[in-house]
Structure 1
Amino acid sequence: MLAGWVLNLTPGPDVLYIISRSLRGGRRAGFAAIAGISAGCLVHVALASLGLGMLLATSATLFSAIKWIGAAYLLWVGVRLLRSKGGPDTLQEGVDATSGGAGSWWQVFAGGFLTNVLNPKVVLFFLAFLPQFIAPSVQNKPLAFAMLGLIFTVNALPITSMYVLLADRMRTSRWAARGMQWLDKVAGVLFIGFGVRLAMSARPMP
């Protein structure tokens, strides 16, 4: 759990998505983003538990295909954020930068899910991280792996919820009201950077 918290504090596309959604749509949008990202993590855990994650780790073609799709999605999100007009939003009046249209909790959830599930390095992370906490004497290792993945996902909720609450509090400040346009530009640049970094990444050796 401590190792998971340290990793959850590390900024990445998921954290940036949660913070940006919370600043624009409040805590309910932030928690919708958390739900989408958590669902994506559970997909990766399930794939790794079933052995499909190992196929991804050993197949350069499959890894490259998912990598390029994920990188293209992150770049698209970044461009949409750069083109956004900014300004605070609500559920009815918000503009979801990941969809380019009227925002909804489902769109926020879907955006978080895609941000996570289209990153093939997440499943490789689980394959490298979780087995370290499985005792050699455990007989049903896939079940132990799945349980550890579930614990890791649930364990992240206090950290991600903290991001949501802090961002929601910041959105009521004068700085947030005046700086929302700059926030979109900075977030857009960061998402583009994450997309480029993913596109440039090489498949880890199995």
Structure 2
Amino acid sequence: MSVTDSLLAYSFAALLLTLTPGLDTALILRTATVEGGKKAFHAALGIDSGCFIWGALVAFGLGALLAASEIAYSLLKWCGAAYLCWLGIQLMIRPRRSFDAFHSGLRYGGNWFLRGMLGNVLNPKMGVFYVSFLPQFIPAGHSPVIWTFLLVFIHVFIGTAWSLTLIMATRYASGLFNIPAVVTWMDRITGGVFMLFAAKLAVSSR
């Protein structure tokens, strides 16, 4: 995969992941609606910081792990493929019918930057996503550390743009995510993409 192909494929995948409603979306929607746009933006910056923290952990840990052991590389690859496949199947066969941004189990109040960051850092799925997802888009012969941070930056850029969109159109976005057909098909499409990337990861080599 060329550098251009890697960046385009990853940008599309990151965009799809960002647009899929989750706890981050719930936090932005709820904060923008109840607390105002300024605090919602603080939460978005906290979420971005959490992405960079996970990126740093993956970049340095993953680089050393892959360089040291072929067995570790294969184990990581198959575990990542299995996880993505399992997640994709779950999204396809059991898609959600609704997304309630106001009853998502979140705890509110206090420093919104810190809450956004901790919500991301303390979510182990972020680490699993990055470990299993990012290596697929690192071109052969390029630095895993540099490329990991570049890919995380792209993800953060897309995520920030989406957060700003939600903040500026809070009521419309909230209503859209409460349309059962929209949530169901978004989950199914994302599940299909996850399964495709799981297959790609399973057949990939160093």
1:67 is aligned to 81
Letter in 1 for 2:103: G
Instruction: Give the counterpart letter for 2:135 in structure 1.
Output: V
Residue equivalent to 2:152: 153
Match of 1:177 in 2: 175
State the alpha-carbon separation in 2 of the partners of residues 205 and 63 from structure 1. 9
Calculate percent identity across the aligned residue pairs.
8
**Equivalent residue for 1:123?**
135
The secondary structure found in structure 1 opposite 2:188 is helix
Distance 1:51 1:199 in 2: 20
Aligned to 1:138: none
For the residues of structure 1 that align with 2:53 and 2:93, how far apart are their CA atoms? Answer: 24
- List aligned pairs for 1:1-206, cutoff 5 A: 7=8, 10-12=11-13, 14-19=14-19, 20-21=21-22, 23-26=25-28, 27=40, 30-31=44-45, 33-52=47-66, 55=69, 59-76=73-90, 78=91, 82-87=95-100, 89=101, 93-95=102-104, 102-104=105-107, 105=116, 106=118, 110=123, 113-114=126-127, 116-119=129-132, 121-126=133-138, 128=140, 130-131=142-143, 146=145, 149-150=148-149, 153-154=152-153, 157-173=156-172, 176-178=174-176, 180-181=178-179, 182-201=181-200, 202-206=202-206
Secondary structure of 2:171's counterpart equals coil
TM-score by length of 2: 0.60
User: Residue 94 of structure 1: SS of its match in structure 2?
Assistant: coil
Aligned length: 178
Give, in whole Å, the separation in 2 of the partners of 1:189 and 1:149: 27
SS of 2:11's partner is coil
Using the TM superposition, give the Cα deviation of residue 44 of structure 1 relative to its aligned residue in structure 2, in angstroms. Answer: 2.9
Aligned 8 A contact 1:48 1:126 in 2? no
Deviation at 1:197, TM superposition (A): 1.0
Equivalent-residue separation in structure 2 for 1:203 and 1:57 (angstroms): 15
The one-letter code sitting in structure 1 at the alignment partner of 2:195 is V
The code of the aligned residue for 2:196 comes to R
Following TM superposition, by how much is the alpha carbon of 1:188 offset from its aligned partner in structure 2, in angstroms? Answer: 0.8
- Superimposed CA distance per residue, residues 59-103 of structure 1 (whole angstroms, 9 cap, x where no aligned partner): 544421221023323444x2698234334x2xxx332xxxxxx13
What's the CA shift for 1:189?
Answer: 0.9
Computed over aligned residues only, the root mean square deviation of the Cα atoms, in angstroms, reads: 4.1
Q: Which moved more, 1:49-58 or 1:15-24?
A: 49-58
Amino acid at match of 1:18: T
Give the SS at the match of 2:178.
helix
